[in-house]
Amino acid sequence: MALDPGIVPEGRRTFMQEVIAATPGGDPHLELCLQCGTCGGSCPSGPDMDHTPRQLFAMIAAGMREDVLKSNTPWFCVSCYYCVVRCPQEIHITDIMYTLKRMAIEEGYYRESSAAEAPDFSETFIDFVEHYGRSFELGLATRYHLKHHPLGMLKMAGMGLNMLIKGRMDLKPTRIEHLDQLQAILQKAKELEGKD
């Protein structure tokens, strides 16, 4: 019988139970993994991952917390959902990848992975959303690339310029009208999640 993470006291949960508990929205079925490799075979970025999703799940089952959270695998997930629809055990793989990203950020392990910049991209993106209610491509690109690829910036600049010329990028972010309302909602959500 699957252990319901809800009834295992927090301090005594296995790593797998923790991952399951931190994945909202229906039962992610992680404990059912057959190790068949369908996910690893389907994953478009599989060849560039430190571990295939399947391996990662075996590592989770083995309680290899550090190795899992240091792996670049979750950060290379492109959210294509191929593995999800193909997994014979109906495991919510993509959602679990998101959970692992969150755990890796929280515990700081991501810095040691080969995708150490990825969280920064997400965070920069979110920063704009939280401040304006909408995303802001120009700001995102400049801020993120200046920080991580100052040289690559030049390469990107061409594309950015083109975007501006084609009228596909704005110079200023758009702000929603009731930004305060959105911010109150997000603030409350953070509180509820204990991430204040």
Partner 1 sequence: MQHKPQEKPRIGVYICHCGTNIAGTVDVEEVARWAGELEGVVVARDYKFMCSSLGQDLIENDIKEKKLNRIVVAACSPLMHEKTFRGACQKAGLNPYFFEMANIREHDAWATDDKTAATFKAKALVEGAVNRVKFHMPLEPIPVDINPNTLVVGGGIAGITAALELANAGYHVYLVERSPSIGGHMAQLDKTFPTLDCSACILTPKMVDVGQHENITLLAYSEVEAVEGYLGNFTITVRKKARHVNEDLCTGCGICIEKCPRKVIDTEFEAGLGYRKVIYRPFPQAVPKYPVIDTENCTFFQRGKCRACQIFCPTKAIDFDQEDELITFQVGNIIIATGYDLFDARRIPQYGYGRLANVFTSLEFERMVNAAGPTGGRIVLRDGVTEPRSVAIIHCVGSRDKNYHEYCSKICCMYSLKFAHLVRERLPDAEVYNFYIDIRAPGKGYEEFYHRVLHEGAHLIRGRVAEVTDAAREPGEEGKLIVQVEDTLIGKQRRIPVDMVILSAGIEARKDSKEVAQLFKMGCDFDGFFVERHPKLDPVATMTEGVFIAGCAQGPKDIPDTVAQGAAAAARVAGLIHQGTVLMEPVRAYIHEDLCSGCRICNNLCPYNAIVFHEDRQKSEVITALCQGCGTCVAACPSGVISGAHFTNDQIFAQIEGVLWDVRAKATAPS
Partner 2 sequence: MPNRYAYYPGCSLEKNARAYHISTLYVAEKLGVALEEVPDWNCCGATEYFAIAALPAYALVARNLALAQGMDWNGGQRHLVAPCSACFLNLSKTDHYMADSPQLAAQVNEALAAGGLHYDPGAVFVHHLLDVIVDDVGYEKVQEMVTKPLFGLRVAPYYGCLVTRPDYKHIHNEPEHPFCLDDLLAALGATVIDYPVKTACCGGHMTQISEDTALELIRRLLKAAADYRADAIVALCPMCQLNLDGYQAQVNKHFGTDYHIPILYFTQVMGLAFGATPEEIGIGKEFVDARPVLNKIQEKPPEEGKKRRKKRRDKQALPMPELLRTHTGRK
Task: List interacting residues with ligand SF4 (CB under 6 A).
Answer: 33-39, 42-45, 53-54, 57, 77-83, 87-89, 91, 93-94, 97
3-state secondary structure of 78: coil
Q: What is the dihedral of CA 74, 75, 76, 79, to 10 degrees?
A: 70
Q: Is the dihedral of CA 114, 115, 119, 120 positive or negative?
A: positive
Q: Is the dihedral of CA 196, 63, 119, 52 positive or negative?
A: negative
Can you tell me which of 117, 142, 143, 153 binds partner 2, judged by CB under 8 A? 117
81 — alpha (psi -120 to 50), left (phi > 0) or beta? left
> Which parts of this chain interact with partner 2 (CB under 8 A)?
22, 24-26, 44-45, 48, 75-76, 78-82, 84-85, 94, 98-99, 101-102, 105, 115, 117-119, 121-123, 125-126, 129, 133-135, 137, 144, 159, 162-163, 166-170, 174, 176-178, 181-182, 184-190, 192-193, 195
> Which parts of this chain interact with partner 1 (CB under 8 A)?
34-43, 46-47, 51-52, 54-55, 82, 85-86, 88-90
